[in-house]
Amino acid sequence: MKTIDELLTEGVAGRRVFVRADLNVPLDGTTITDDGRIRAVLPTVKALAETGARVVVASHLGRPKGAPDPVFSLAPAAARLGELLGADVAFATDTVGESAQTVVAGLADGQVAVVENLRFNAGETSKDDAERAAFAEQLAALADVYVGDGFGAVHRKHASVYDLPARLPHYAGYLIANEVGVLKKLTEDVKRPYVVALGGAKVSDKLAVIDQLLAKADRLLIGGGMAYTFLKAKGYEVGISLLQEDQVPAVTEYMERAEKNGVELVLPVDVLVAPEFPDLKTKAPANPTTVAADAIPADQEGLDIGPETRKLYASKLADAGTVFWNGPMGVFEHPDYAEGTKAVAQALIDTPGFTVVGGGDSAAAVRTLGFDESAFGHISTGGGASLEYLEGKTLPGLAALED
């Protein structure tokens, strides 16, 4: 994999450099609640701008449906990038259309532009190779060189991640190089016990990863929205909690295999429930009730792990040699459901083992709940990406940078 340092040595002055970043930051309306992913790509953008490149930054944000949707505009991220760079950042109101072409053509050496959300174009995420290729051609027309630095999206076989680098000279940015450097160690030299804590809301993506983790980890702690598919597989009522019904048979098999392989698969013993999802805007008190994991009322939703589970998970993390944690334990954005995530974050700080926190929301949780980032071994910008990397999978966005 050629890195950006080689590109800088070759010289970038006057060249249009396309930086595929992951600016998929959490938003409250148009307010960015955690800018970690924007800060993470700064070294790459700065190095390119300072050496005279015309930098075109592109990213996805959220999961729009292949058409423009103002809720998912990258405009707030572009503005924040400008603030962090201390420079004007031009913003194109489309991705490859007239606005993008005009903005890119107007860039002077050393200037930076951001184009609108890649996923406003159906070609970006299309499963059809030709459709993705057509969009990649349009993206390629905007640049002379490609720098891949959106680590959080390298597990996606998307046009800007996979098809575009094949069409331009390509290099890995500093973030990708650093992430791969740290995560590689976890695949080669893992100090045991190796404990993996999984939570969050992208349940279907992450359940598949457990299949592989059963052959690698010594202990798996399950929380967040993911827990309810397991509790359902145990035959418990999960009420209106997040549930991946079609995955129940697979999860049943995981639980059987864990037992056979001697992997400790630990599930919540109690949870916080309420009749409805909390209001994350007003943060009005949610008044949750604590119930045993096998006693969730049919009309209630599980939104955090309970106090007994917090203690249990802390004890399961205390003697870890290595910990990988992805996905908040509850809806941490609301104070009534933040304690589970806080307890796991604190347990990672307290354990003597090497700790890695992966995921946009997990990293945001650690920061917004007031933890010191330096107390963790590594905070990865990738959730699904870091999990799939640890699984040993070939990730499209990394493979594309290699050849």
Ligand X SMILES: Nc1ncnc2c1ncn2[C@@H]1O[C@H](COP(=O)(O)OP(=O)(O)OP(=O)(O)O)[C@@H](O)[C@H]1O
Ligand Y SMILES: O=C(O)[C@H](O)COP(=O)(O)O
Cis peptide before 193 (omega within 30 of 0): yes
Query: Alpha helices of 86-128 — where are they, by DSSP H?
Result: 98-105, 122-125
- Using the rule CB under 6 A, is 156 a contact of ligand Y? yes
- Using the rule CB under 6 A, is 336 a contact of ligand X? no
Determine if residue 119 is labeled as part of a ligand binding site.
Answer: yes
Tell me, by CB under 6 A, how many residues bind ligand Y: 10
Stretch that binds ligand Y, among 106-114, 135-143, 149-157, 318-326 (CB under 6 A): 149-157
Q: Which does 156 bind (CB under 5 to 8 A by kind): ligand Y, ligand X, none?
A: ligand Y
- Using the rule CB under 6 A, is 239 a contact of ligand X? no
Cβ proximity to ligand Y: between 36 and 383 the closer is 383
Stretch that binds ligand Y, among 48-56, 94-102, 148-156, 337-345 (CB under 6 A): 148-156
Check 148, 353, 358, 384 and give the catalytic one: 384
- Using the rule CB under 6 A, is 330 a contact of ligand X? yes
150 catalytically annotated: no
Residues 6 or more apart in contact with residue 52 via CB below 8 angstroms? 12, 13, 14, 109, 110
CB 251 within 8 A of CB 229: yes
Give phi and psi for 335, each to the nearest 5.
-55, -30
- Using the rule CB under 6 A, is 201 a contact of ligand X? yes
CB 89 within 8 A of CB 58: no
- Using the rule CB under 6 A, is 333 a contact of ligand X? yes
Check 16, 80, 157, 202 and give the catalytic one: 202
Strands 170-172 and 145-148: parallel
Within 47-86, the residues that bind ligand Y by CB under 6 A are 63
Residues 6 or more apart in contact with residue 306 via CB below 8 angstroms? 268, 269, 270, 271, 272, 290, 291, 293, 340
202 catalytically annotated: yes
Q: Rounded distance, CA 354 to CA 281, Å?
A: 35
384 catalytically annotated: yes
Annotated binding site for substrate: 22-24, 37, 60-63, 119, 156
Residues in the site for ligand Y, rule: CB under 6 A? 22, 24, 63, 152-153, 156, 202, 360, 383-384
